[in-house]
Amino acid sequence: MDSTTMIAVASIVTAGLTTGIGCMFPALSEGKAAASALNSLAEQPDAAPTITRTLFVGLAMIESTAIYCFVVSMILIFANPFWNHIIAK
């Protein structure tokens, strides 16, 4: 295999692993956060606005991790910085 094919294979495999792992663990974390928030709401219904607001901020922070992983995988597939180095040779 030549170097262009190796870079293509490495980019595709890395993008797949990044998307797979980068979406799996934030999804598990979001489920755990929602379960904890529901448990807290069941114990203290008077604190519902505070718990809900904190939950949504936390879910947004967790979801941003998945979005960053998706962006990295799209860069590896469509705008790979290593292509310019190979093409210049």
65 assigned to some structural domain: yes
Taking the model in full, what pTM does it have?
0.76
Taken as a whole, the chain contains a residue count of: 89
Statement: residue 75 has pLDDT above 80? yes
Domain coverage including residue 55: 3-83
88 assigned to some structural domain: no
Q: What is the DSSP string of 35-64?
A: HHHHHHHHH-GGGHHHHHHHHHHHHHHHHH
Kindly report, residue by residue over 16-45, the tens digit of the pLDDT. Answer: 999 999 999 999 999 999 999 999 999 999
Percentages of the chain per state (helix, strand, coil), in multiples of 5: 95, 0, 5
The tokens describing 74, both together, are 């799209």
41 assigned to some structural domain: yes
15 assigned to some structural domain: yes
Statement: residue 62 has pLDDT above 80? yes
Domain count, the chain: 1
29 in Cβ contact with 66 (< 8 Å): no
Distance in angstroms (rounded) separating the CA atoms of residues 62 and 1: 39
CATH of the domain at 70: 1.20.20.10
21 assigned to some structural domain: yes
The tokens describing 49, both together, are 């606005």
48 assigned to some structural domain: yes
